[in-house]
Chains A and B, each alone.
Chain A
Amino acid sequence: MPSDTPEETFDLPGCLARVRDSDQSAARELVEHLYPMVIRIVRARLPRRVAEEDLSQEIFLKMFTRISQYQGSVPFTHWVSRIAVTTCIDHLRAQKRRPEFRWADLSENEADVLDAVLTNDGEVEAGDAMAAHELVHKLLDQLKPDDRLVLQLLDLEQKTLAEVSELTGWNTTLIKVRAFRARRKLPKLFAELKKKERA
């Protein structure tokens, strides 16, 4: 996974060595270098009522606490992204109650998109992509955090099984099983929504 940061010349091994020697300026450089990658993960999986800055800070603090455990067997950015993903999942798990998903709470655009995909009458209009995106997240919120993550990575972000495995640390069989179970729950969610719409 290539780094998304503009500084392609960033000397990561050198910076890590300085961080291990308790160099604070190196620690600042490392945070600034990794921030775009971490914030992208956080924004895609942000739990409700958690500020993205607080979550990013927690991820970086975990990174610094565990930095002595980093052996270099995987690229450092992969190692940090795994910390970011697991921290997000932990926060999602901590949210015991999931919001109720009601037709009445949907915006007009979201209701139109949902109607279009449920009735199978043609494609969703390109202008409704944002509404579809919001709707996908509302549906994913109804699933367990692990199921939600697997579907988000596989279906929405179209990552491969190997990439999901790298990010989560789960083996491919487990990912397939979780995806299968999560996809089986979705028709039930759609059916419930249909029922609520008629009611």
Chain B
Amino acid sequence: MKHFNSPWTRLVAAARLAPADKRAACAPAGFATRVSALAAGANEPTFAALFARCSLRALGVCGLVMVLGVTLNLGSVLNAFEAPAVDAITLNDPVSEWLDASAS
């Protein structure tokens, strides 16, 4: 214990002799009422808090519905990606149809 007889130890030993704090330790008048009212007010649900809570729930439900929708229609979704895109474009392309008609 190197600090055993240091200036700090001697100072702290002297400080401990100081008389105890004699200030009143009771709550000031109205303090408890004010604090309990503030706490009650803080616990009441505000519109913003309610909206945020509902929004989060709605977001969760939307995500679930989306996942379900994709899972149920997985076959159609995959087919749409697998279909030859070039044919679809040429078959329904009005410009190419017009060009074909004008050439013939």
A-side interface residues toward B, CB under 8 Å?
4, 22, 24, 27-29, 31-32, 35-36, 39-40, 43, 53, 56-57, 60-61, 64-65, 113-114, 116-118, 120, 123-124, 126, 128-130, 132-133, 135-136, 139, 155-156, 158, 183, 186-187, 190
B35 within 8 A of A: yes
Instruction: Tell me what chain B mostly uses at the interface: helix, strand, loop, or mixed.
Output: helix
Collect the chain B residues with CB atoms within 8 Å of residue A156's CB: 12, 15-16
Chain B residues in 8 Å Cβ range of A130: 18-19
Query: How many Å from the CB of A191 to the closest CB on chain B?
Result: 10
CA distance A113 to B35 in the complex (A): 42
Q: Assuming the A-B contacts A60-B39, A132-B18, are A36 and B25 also in contact, with contact meaning beta carbons closer than 8 angstroms in the complex?
A: yes
Interface members, chain B 10-46 (any A CB < 8 Å): 10-19, 21, 23, 25-28, 31-40, 42-43
> Is B69 an interface position by the 8 A CB rule?
no
- Whether A61 touches B19, Cβ cut-off 8 Å, given contacts A117-B14, A155-B12, A186-B8, is no
Distance, CA A187 to CA B28, complexed state (A): 41
Query: In whole angstroms, how far apart are the Cα atoms of A186 and B35 in the complex?
Result: 40
In the docked arrangement, what's the CA distance between A124 and B16, Å?
A: 11
11 A-B interface contacts by CB (under 8 A):
A28-B36, A32-B27, A32-B32, A36-B26, A57-B34, A57-B38, A64-B36, A65-B43, A114-B11, A136-B11, A156-B15
Measured CB to CB, the closest approach of chain A to B20, in angstroms, equals: 10
Known: A129-B15, A139-B11. 10 other contacts (CB 8 A): A24-B37, A29-B32, A31-B36, A32-B32, A43-B23, A117-B10, A135-B11, A135-B15, A155-B8, A187-B6
Residues on A with beta carbons closer than 8 Å to the beta carbon of B21 = 40, 43
Considering the chains assembled together, what is the distance between the CA atoms of A130 and B9 in angstroms?
16
A128, B16: Cβ atoms closer than 8 Å:
no
- Shortest distance in angstroms between A100's beta carbon and chain B's nearest beta carbon? 19
Task: State how many angstroms separate the Cβ of B57 from the closest Cβ of chain A.
Answer: 20
Inter-chain contacts of A39 with B (CB < 8 A): 25
Hey, which chain A residues are within 8 Å of B34, CB to CB? Answer: 57
Q: Min CB distance, B82 to chain A, in Å?
A: 53
Residues of chain A lying within 8 A (CB to CB) of residue B3: 183, 186
Give the distance in Å from the alpha carbon of A133 to the alpha carbon of B15 in the complex: 4
Residue of A nearest to B39 (CB): A64
Decide yes or no whether B7 CB sits under 8 A from chain A: yes
Closest to B24 in A: A39
Which residues of B sit under 8 angstroms from A36, Cβ to Cβ?
25-26
